[in-house]
Each structure stands twice: as C-alpha cells, then as structure tokens.
Amino acid sequence: MWNNLPSDLLSNVFSYLPPHSLARAMVTCRHWHDCARSTTSRHQHPPWFVALPTRARNLCFVHNPIESTWHLLGLKHVPSLTRPVSTIPGHGLILFKSTGSVPLQLSVCDPFTSRFRHLPQLRKPRTNPAVGVIEDCPSQFNVYVAGGMCKAASSGAASYEPTLEMFDSRSKNWTITGSMPIEFAVRLTVWTPNESVYSRGVLYWMTSARAYSIMGFDMSSNKWKELSVPMGDTLEFAAMVPRDGKLAVIGGTHGVNVLVWELGEDDKWNVIERMPVELGKRFVGGSTKCVGIEGGVCLYKEIAKEMVVWRKDRNHKNKWEWYSIEGCNQISGKRLENYPIKGLFLHPNLACSSSFF
C-alpha cells in the first residue's frame, strides 16, 4: 500500500510537490515523513518572495505564490550586526553579512528550518567587497567575494584588495581564484554590490545606485569587463535578473516607465518587455526596489504596500505574466507595522538533506 512504498519511489513523487504540500506530506505518517525529508525538489514551482524588515532582525515574511498568502517566520539564530544581502536560491538559503567596518563575515540561514551557520574567515580578510553566488547543482554552491579593502599587516594602511575569492560549499573552504585591475577593485568596493547574476560563464555585478553600470568576471578567461546599463543615468531603480540563462535588467523611473532589457550575444541590450502602465501607478514617488531570480521579478516598497511581480506562467512555460500582490499588514488578525524591507527570492528547502549544515 501507499504507506510502505520504496523510499526512492516516494521521494520521486514528492520531488514534484510545492513546499506547502511537501510539509503536509511529512505529517501524514512516519514513512512519508522520512521520505519527504530526503526529497530533492525539482523546483518546478514558482519561487517564494521573502521580505526581511530592515529594522527587525528576527522577522521574515514569506509569500506563498501558489496560495497567494503571506506568512511570518521567526529567525531565531541571526546575530545582531548582520544584514541580509542575497540568497542561494536553489538551496533555500539567505546569505547574511556582518555590518560595520569589520572584515567581512558571511553566514547562511535557512528561514524555514531556522538553521544558521557562519562561513569560515576569508583567505584575505577585507571590508566591503562585492559578494556573489553561483549554484551549479542541487548539492553544491559557490560564494564569491571580490575587491574590498585590506589592512597591510606592517604599516596598518588600508588598500584596495584586487583579488577574487571563492567559497566551495563541499570543501567548506575559501580559495583565491582570480585577480582584477585596481580600478575594478575600487568600483567593487565603493558600490559593494551584493546581488550577482551568472550567465554564459560570466559573473556579473551591478552598481547599487545611479549611474548604473555592470562589471563582469569571465570565469574561464579570468578577464573583467564593463557593460553600460541602458538608461543607466536616468533609471531610479534597477536590478539584474537571470532570464533563461541570459542576463536581463529591469529598471524604471518612479511610477512612469518600467522596462526590461536582455543582453544579447553581442553584448547589446534589447528591450523585451514594458510593465503595463496601470501597474506602474503603484510606484509613483518614494523608493521603489526590485529583485529578480530565474523565473521571476518583484518590484516592491514597504511590506504593507502592494507589490508587482513579473513571473513565468505556471501553465505556459514560455509566457511571462504581470501580477500584483497585496502587501502584508496583518498576520493572524494582528495588525503590523509597515516595515521597510529587503526583498529576496528563494525556493524553500524543507529537506534536511542539505549537507551544508
């Protein structure tokens, strides 16, 4: 009967389940619980938007895209003086970094299971480097740190660190894997971008404010390049988005014009989409932010304000649709503050099979 099917068979069935259904499968009986715990999701379901209040470190809002519901998770182990910078989306992890002028300390947190772990110290401790992530496969991820400032041991004078370091989640070690011209080290340090996109063998970072531009590190040739961002000095908000393995940029001027560009093979930008004007009215005035992941983009302000999502249609794989999502102003009947938030995307990982922790 269904109670005692071979574990690998049940795990195969469960690999097709969205997160809330998987969580419920875990409660049906012991055998299903054990199989669900060792399931590797196929990630066929839309990613979840995660909203972290910038001033309430232990709270984490998550939006279930299938049921269109908001939930509040408590983050128990996140230390003070850290802030979220990006995610390792396929593994369901949030990447945190230390704040202040101390050498960078990175850590990862799984908001659904409250597991938390510091990454080891960098080979070359530095302050304010750029941070990037590449996920090659479900069982491994790499974190990259580029640029930053280093204190020379003898003189105590600080200088820009023109190296790139990589953390391998399997060996759990940092290694120095590349270098850069000093101008890139300076720009990566000054702008300290935390969101990266890996496309066609290049790891891209974008400056965090106007005038937007992009720096890219070609992994195989070890060369750096610079790309201009379309309308880079007019855009008021912008973010990079991976789109079917290609690099895209979404950006806009407040309330009026939100466009999406995709980088072609010749490193030229093409406009591929324009946000419908009615949706844009939500973003007039005030600071709009955006964040992207393979399969979706979200434009947002504070937690209680309406958000706009541009996402792959569940039923028609090649179509993308614009949706608006109501913000979250109450949980279980209790009214909440309208927190300013940092928005991120990830795929919840309920299996304890992640060997990283």
Partner 1 sequence: MAEFNETDQTPTVDPKTPNLGDSTTSSQPKPEQITTIDVAVPIPDVGPQLQVVVEEFILKSGSDDEEVRTAATNELRDFIEHEEIGITTLLVVVKYAHEVKNVDLLDAFCERVADLIKDKKVVEVREIFGIVNDFTPGEEQALRYEHPWAFED
Contact residues: partner 1, CB under 8 A: 1-3, 5-6, 8-9, 12-21, 23-30, 32-33, 62, 64, 66-67, 69, 71, 73, 112-113, 350
For residue 345, the minimal CB distance to partner 1 (Å) is 17
CB 277 within 8 A of CB 25: no
Non-local (6+) Cβ contacts of 133 within 8 A are: 86, 87, 88, 95, 141, 142, 143, 144, 196, 198
Nearer residue to partner 1 within complex by CB, 28 or 228: 28
For residue 50, the minimal CB distance to partner 1 (Å) is 12
CB 93 within 8 A of CB 116: no
DSSP helix/strand/coil, 243: strand
For residue 53, the minimal CB distance to partner 1 (Å) is 17
For residue 336, the minimal CB distance to partner 1 (Å) is 16
For residue 202, the minimal CB distance to partner 1 (Å) is 31
DSSP string covering 72-113, please? EEE--SPPSSEEEEEEEGGGTEEEEEE-SSSPP-EEEEETTT
CB 41 within 8 A of CB 346: no
Length of the chain in terms of residues written: 357
Non-local (6+) Cβ contacts of 251 within 8 A are: 212, 229, 230, 231, 235, 237, 238, 239, 258, 259, 261, 290
Cα separation, 1 vs 298, in Å, equals 43
Nearer residue to partner 1 within complex by CB, 23 or 186: 23
Say which amino acid occupies 163: T
For residue 137, the minimal CB distance to partner 1 (Å) is 18
For residue 351, the minimal CB distance to partner 1 (Å) is 12
Give the number of other Cβ atoms within 10 Å of residue 248's Cβ: 22
Nearer residue to partner 1 within complex by CB, 21 or 338: 21
For residue 70, the minimal CB distance to partner 1 (Å) is 9
Nearer residue to partner 1 within complex by CB, 70 or 212: 70
For residue 310, the minimal CB distance to partner 1 (Å) is 24
For residue 132, the minimal CB distance to partner 1 (Å) is 30
Q: Which long-range contacts (CB under 8 A, 24 or more apart) does 13-18 make?
A: 14/39, 15/39, 15/40, 15/41, 15/42, 16/42, 16/44, 17/41, 18/45, 18/66
Nearer residue to partner 1 within complex by CB, 71 or 254: 71
CA separation (Å) from 50 to 47, 148, 227, 297?
Answer: 9, 28, 29, 12
Nearest one of 336, 309, 320 to 65, comparing CA atoms: 309
Burial 286-318, CB ≥16 within 10 A → b, else e = eebbbbbbbbbbbbbbbbbbebbbbbbeeeeee
Nearer residue to partner 1 within complex by CB, 73 or 304: 73
Nearer residue to partner 1 within complex by CB, 12 or 179: 12
Nearer residue to partner 1 within complex by CB, 11 or 127: 11
Nearer residue to partner 1 within complex by CB, 162 or 348: 348
Nearer residue to partner 1 within complex by CB, 14 or 144: 14
